[in-house]
Amino acid sequence: MSKPWTRRQVLAQMGIAAAAVHTLDPHELCCATPAWAQTADKELFELQKVGDGVYAAIAAPRYKTNCNAAVIVTNDGVVVVDSHSKPSAARALYKEIQGITNKPVRKLVNTHFHFDHWQGNQIYAEGNPGLEVVATQRTRENLTRPDAGLGGIPFVEKQVTTLLPAEIQKLKDDVMRASNPEMKARLESNLQQAEAYFQELKSFKPTLPTRTVSSTTTLQEGGREIQLHVFGRGHTDGDLFIYLPKEKIVATGDALIDWMPFMNDGYPEDWVQTLSALENLDFAQIIPGHGTVLPKSNLAFFRGYMADLIAAVRKAAGEGASLEEMQKKISDDLAPKYEKGMSKYPIGQYRDRVGVNVEMVLKKVVKKA
């Protein structure tokens, strides 16, 4: 079993192109890595054992960052949680799973509707006739809703018709303008990846949930108990938590990640409550949507950031501060407590997102848009 990605490896992968990352498109803000990461021949996942027959597939940092997956092997099959941003990434993990067990994948769970958590569904469906794809009822609805946010069939169409052509054109322009040979090579690699992703999405086959849950459900899967928890709104309005009570492991999707939360499709106040409900479960390890496997204690840190952020925005709004004033002051005020812990990776860092988070809390909590 190989070791998790170290910060040094991550930085080596990103190289100097990280310096060029500042023009984030909205679709890159959630969970995606902007167009700078490494080439397609690198490994996509590190499979880490977190319990007997339970693995965390920790996504390598790269172009269109993939989400992590949880892989749960039972006596008669496999349950996989989340399927990444594209079929080729799901195929890569599926191959790794087949290296662990020759049992079929019986169930695929999508924690929420964001593009980087479901766009690889088709690979598991193609390889496993009878596969059940499980999500909340709300997630299934979001996957077809035009205005749901950063995921779903309409968002795939938006990527193909608008976002990716624009991104590819920008990369082409950046390649032309690059003066540094190393930067130019990196951008050319990014361009190749963007074009490959574009091609993949053109032949994308939407594979929607076949089974939905609306409240907490317990599955007995080949001798293993797997609980699916619905605690209410959080990162989205359809978040699903996967809990293994015996193994004391929880998979959270992006409701809990190891970098700054993406709040644009979220419900900040509900999210705090949802995390408190999650905390009531008896677990020791968290497989987050992004980043490495975490101890339970990280939940309080992550929730604390959101609670403190909400309180700070409310206070500043009450004092009549402008958005710009709030962004500056709150970024600095919360930094001593949160900047280091929220900036462990070169992506999704505190200063990259705190301004947008302030804006979202103002809009969603104070102005109740």
3-state secondary structure (DSSP) of residue 205: coil
The least CB distance from residue 203 to Zn ion, in Å, is 23
Residue 54 contacts residue 86 (beta carbons within 8 Å) = no
C-beta of 116 vs 221, nearer to Zn ion:
116
The least CB distance from residue 319 to Zn ion, in Å, is 32
C-beta of 107 vs 114, nearer to Zn ion:
114
3-state secondary structure (DSSP) of residue 10: helix
The least CB distance from residue 222 to Zn ion, in Å, is 28
Token pair for 348: 């999704």
Looking at the DSSP assignment, which residues form a beta bridge with residue 227? 218, 243
C-beta of 128 vs 159, nearer to Zn ion:
159
C-beta of 64 vs 114, nearer to Zn ion:
114
The least CB distance from residue 31 to Zn ion, in Å, is 3
The least CB distance from residue 350 to Zn ion, in Å, is 18
What angle (nearest 5°) sits at the alpha carbon of residue 261, between those of residues 298 and 86? 110
C-beta of 137 vs 192, nearer to Zn ion:
137
Residues 6+ apart with CB under 8 A from 234: 255, 266, 267, 270, 271, 274, 275
> Strands of 285-288's sheet, edge to edge?
217-221, 224-229, 241-244, 249-253, 285-288, 294-295
Residue ranges that bind Zn ion, judged by CB under 5 A: 30-31, 67, 114, 116, 254, 289
The least CB distance from residue 154 to Zn ion, in Å, is 16
C-beta of 254 vs 258, nearer to Zn ion:
254
DSSP letter assigned to residue 260: P
25 closest CA partner among 143, 115, 131, 118: 115
Nearest residue to the partner Zn ion, using Cβ: 31
